[in-house]
Chains A and B, each alone.
Chain A
Amino acid sequence: MNDNAKRVIDAGLNLLDRQIIDKDGMMAGNVDDLELTFPADGGPPVITGILAGPGALARRLGPRSGAWLESLHSRLHPAEQPGPARVAFGVVRRVADHVEITVSRSELDVSRFEEWVRDKIIAKIPGAEA
């Protein structure tokens, strides 16, 4: 059996809000929510994905703050109906004080949104080139 994580966890305590570290040791966002999948043949749900970024965090805030963040995320995001950035749990290498993944942050949706905001919005603010 893999010894890469505790056998029993309370997800809110042991997973939520943990930092995601990519294969190069770079920060790749936070665990803002989790995707649970109910097996087709029945039984309890299984954690199949990590959801990160404003699209995931919005639901955890209060109704007013959450709606505001979701609306802002939708307006800024290049996609028409942006969902939260998803990291498949299958690329998780280890769960400890942080969550290590086996892929580079550049391959994740959460980084693509950040890069889009950097290139399309931040770069156009006067003085951004300095």
Chain B
Amino acid sequence: MTVRELAGTQMRFSDLLRSQVIDAEGQEVGDVHDARFVKDGPVQGAFGPGYRLQGLVVGHGNFGVRLGFDRASVKGPWLLKKLFQRLHAEARFVDWSSVDSIEDEKIRLNVRAADLRLVEALPG
């Protein structure tokens, strides 16, 4: 389904995490490692502004990703951080506006992999 067709539907975060990402030229970019959210979405009751999906963290292999040591903002033993940051140095950030469709655990983009930027450290 195209992103426009998904309006009004629901999905699980784990469905995103299982997905393979393919760029506008049909080349595999990697798998979804995580998703970045910004607290500026529609109000969710007592929580206030909700978390709106900003984009996806995409890379190859997911060893150590759940520990977060591949991301600059996460503290941890320096040796593990160096190891995982090297393993995931090629991880890219896919802005949500670059997502064209989501179907059968495949996310297709409207941009080329070469045009994707590196993942920035989380603020604060």
Tell me if B52 counts as interface (CB < 8 A to partner A).
yes
B49→A6 contact, CB < 8 A: no
- When the two chains form their complex, are residues A9 and B41 in contact, meaning their CB atoms are under 8 A apart? no
Which listed segment binds A: B23-31, B66-74, B78-86, B106-114? B66-74
| Docked CA distance A33–B18 (Å) | 12
A7-B38, A13-B71, A46-B52 are contacts. A88–B45 as well, Cβ < 8 Å?
yes
Chain B neighbourhood of A4, CB < 8 A: 47-48
- Chain A residues within 8 Å of chain B by Cβ, number: 40
A45: contacting residue among B17, B53, B71, B124, CB under 8 A: B53
The total of Cβ contacts below 8 Å across the A-B interface reads 140
Contact A39 B48 (CB under 8 A): no
Contact B124 A47 (CB under 8 A): no
The verdict on A46 contacting B41 (CB below 8 Å), with A34-B13, A40-B8, A90-B47 known, is yes
**For the complex, what is the distance from the CA of A105 to the CA of B31, rounded to whole Å?**
35
Residues of A at the B interface (CB closer than 8 Å) are: 1-2, 4-13, 16, 33-48, 51, 56, 59-60, 88-93, 102
Q: Interface of B with A (CB < 8 Å)?
A: 4, 6-17, 33-42, 44-54, 57, 65-66, 68, 71, 74, 96, 122-124
27 A-B residue pairs with Cβ-Cβ distance under 8 Å, sorted by A, are A1-B49, A2-B47, A7-B39, A8-B36, A8-B122, A9-B37, A10-B36, A10-B68, A12-B66, A33-B14, A34-B12, A36-B12, A36-B13, A37-B9, A43-B52, A45-B52, A46-B41, A46-B42, A46-B50, A47-B37, A47-B51, A51-B12, A88-B44, A89-B50, A91-B47, A92-B44, A102-B46
| Complex A-B, nearest 3 residue pairs according to Cβ-Cβ distance, in ascending order | A90-B45, A2-B48, A34-B13
Contacts A38-B9, A43-B52, A46-B50 known; 16 new A-B pairs at CB < 8 A: A2-B49, A5-B39, A6-B124, A7-B39, A7-B40, A10-B36, A12-B17, A35-B10, A38-B7, A46-B41, A46-B53, A48-B50, A59-B14, A90-B46, A92-B44, A93-B46
